């Protein structure tokens, strides 16, 4: 009889020992009775999300954990951001991440995030969406705060172009082709024209006129970056014959899962922030497993504190997430539960690192080891050993009785 699969990913949870925490990592310093319980009744190990020493992004790590080779299918972050925002993408579309930004009359960026604009971006996006440039359709949608996504749909396009976003203050960058193809040259010209038109349209937009009246930065230009062609991913159902769902508060993770053919489960309070309703996410995951075979639940919050260099805050948010896991004990009879991270974000580094992440797997029939707590150094001594992210799904599926035999 097959079982269900729940994969909980604490984004950026892996860390290094911190002097501020007495030489412990945030996970080791945190009080985590529920994850410790799962470690005690299950089996532990460490995992390189992609490969040893590779500094994984959340997008490439999730692709790897879901069984896709990121070196083969990853074309850039833009397509996954766009898919995460619910855009109906087609194979061959070119997608970009974008910022609503503020420039002066000389096209110098004075604020990359337009004063971290929070309101009015839907109206601004509507003013840009649907335009055509040289026979190419522009699809544009706002995301959270200053973020947005751009999709170009048409023939003769290429993702091999540079960014308009300078990633700093100063002159905006003219987009250039990164190879000698006519497609790349044409795409660069189209993006440059889009940036120009965005300024012409947005600088006089009522939303921005009101912002300036209030002394706020106008969102008077759009700066695209991270061009990528939308990949063709074989669905999880076709690859593994399972019905899979995903719960996440951030677009990039939702986009990876959507392009993998997974059902995106909307949960009230799932914000991708420190004030997300973690219990609601887990309960929604358990509810989904009444009909589905597997659910992935992403908890973004630990990563935020890692980037902020706040080990105490990271410890506290891990404790808050652990408290939400009390209900998992009710699922152990029919569910294989795995808890891990997509990458390490050490507080001392304030960015992703290539350190392996801790992993626990618990459920009926799982071989156990002697590990009784969940932490980086404890997990390294566990019975799983050290694996790559691309191995995880195979391990979980065979434990749940969902995998096919290879050979006679």
pLDDT in tens, 112-139: 999 989 899 999 999 999 999 999 999 9
- CA 157 to CA 185: how far, in whole Å? 9
For the chain, percent of residues with pLDDT exceeding 90: 88
Structural domain spans, the chain: 4-74+234-399, 92-229
pLDDT grade, residue 239 (50/70/90)? very high
Q: How far is CA 203 from the centre of its chain?
A: 32
User: 311, 344 in Cβ contact below 8 A?
Assistant: no
Rounded to the nearest 5 degrees, what angle is found at the Cα of 47, between the Cα atoms of 326 and 11?
Answer: 55
Q: What angle do CA 365, 369, 371 make, to 5 degrees?
A: 125
* Per-residue tokens: 355: 């350190």
Beta strands in 107-254 (DSSP E): 108-111, 132-133, 136-142, 147-153, 170-171, 221-229, 244-247
Q: Look at residue 220 and tell me whether its pLDDT is greater than 80.
A: yes
pTM value is 0.88
CA 268 to chain centroid: 18
Q: d(Cα 225, Cα 95) in Å, to the nearest integer?
A: 9
What average pLDDT does this structure show over 198-208?
Answer: 97
Contacts with 170 (C-beta within 8 Å, 6 or more apart), sequence order: 108, 109
Note the helical H segments in 70-205.
Answer: 70-73, 78-84, 121-128, 182-202
* Per-residue pLDDT tens over the stretch 242-292: 999 999 988 899 999 999 999 999 998 887 788 889 999 999 999 999 999
β strands within 28-135, DSSP E: 43-48, 94-103, 108-111, 132-133
CATH of 4-74+234-399, one of 3.90.1150.10, 3.40.50.2300, 3.30.565.10, 3.40.720.10: 3.40.720.10
| pLDDT at residue number 389 | 98
Lowest mean pLDDT among 140-149, 313-322, 323-332: 140-149
Interatomic CA distance for residues 408 and 252, integer angstroms: 40
Place 232 in a pLDDT band, splitting at 50, 70 and 90: confident
pLDDT at 91: 83
Of 7-11, 142-146, 363-367, the range with the lowest mean pLDDT is: 142-146
Beta bridge partners of 340: 9
> pLDDT tens digit string along 38-65?
999 999 999 999 999 999 999 999 999 9
**Residue 390: pLDDT band by 50, 70, 90 thresholds?**
very high
pLDDT score recorded for residue 251:
87
Give Cβ neighbours of residue 69 (< 8 Å, ≥ 6 apart): 63, 390
Element (H, E) at 300: none
CA 123 remoteness from chain centre: 26
Measured distance between the N- and C-terminal CA atoms of the chain, rounded to whole angstroms? 21
């Amino acid at each position: 009889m097959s079982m269900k699969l729940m994969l909980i990913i604490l984004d950026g949870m892996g860390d290094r020992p911190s002097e501020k925490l007495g030489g412990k990592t945030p996970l080791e310093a945190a009080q985590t009775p529920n994850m410790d319980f799962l470690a005690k009744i299950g089996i532990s190990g460490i995992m390189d999300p992609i490969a040893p020493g590779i500094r994984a992004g959340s997008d490439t790590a999730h692709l790897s954990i879901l069984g896709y080779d990121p070196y083969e299918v990853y074309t850039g972050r833009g397509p996954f951001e766009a898919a995460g925002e619910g855009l109906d993408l087609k194979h061959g579309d070119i997608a970009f991440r974008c910022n609503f930004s503020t420039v002066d009359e000389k096209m110098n960026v004075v604020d990359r995030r337009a004063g971290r604009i929070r309101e009015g971006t839907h109206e601004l996006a509507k003013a840009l969406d649907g335009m055509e440039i040289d026979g190419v359709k522009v699809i544009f949608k706002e995301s959270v705060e200053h973020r947005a996504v751009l999709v170009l749909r048409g023939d003769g396009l290429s993702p091999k172009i540079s960014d308009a976003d300078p990633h700093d203050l100063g002159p905006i960058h003219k987009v250039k082709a990164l190879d000698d193809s006519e497609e790349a040259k044409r795409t660069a010209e189209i993006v440059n024209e889009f940036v120009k038109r965005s300024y012409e349209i947005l600088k006089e937009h009522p939303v921005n006129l009101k912002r300036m009246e209030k002394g706020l930065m106008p969102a008077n230009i759009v700066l695209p970056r991270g061009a990528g062609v939308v990949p063709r991913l074989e669905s999880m159902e076709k690859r593994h014959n399972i019905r899979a769902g995903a719960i996440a508060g951030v677009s990039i993770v939702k986009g990876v899962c959507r392009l993998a053919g997974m059902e995106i489960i909307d949960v009230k309070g799932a914000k991708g922030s420190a004030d997300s309703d973690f219990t609601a996410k887990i309960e929604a995951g358990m509810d989904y497993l009444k009909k589905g075979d597997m659910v992935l639940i992403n908890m973004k919050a630990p990563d935020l504190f890692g980037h902020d260099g706040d080990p105490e805050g990271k410890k506290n948010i891990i404790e808050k997430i652990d408290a939400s896991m009390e209900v998992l004990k009710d699922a152990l009879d029919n569910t294989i539960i795995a808890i891990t991270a997509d990458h390490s974000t050490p507080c001392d580094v304030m960015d992703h690192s290539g350190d392996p992440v801790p992993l626990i797997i618990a459920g009926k029939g799982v071989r156990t080891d002697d590990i009784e707590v969940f932490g980086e150094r404890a997990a390294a001594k566990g019975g799983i050993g050290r694996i790559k992210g691309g191995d995880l799904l195979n391990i979980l599926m065979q434990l749940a009785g969902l995998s096919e035999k290879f050979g006679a």
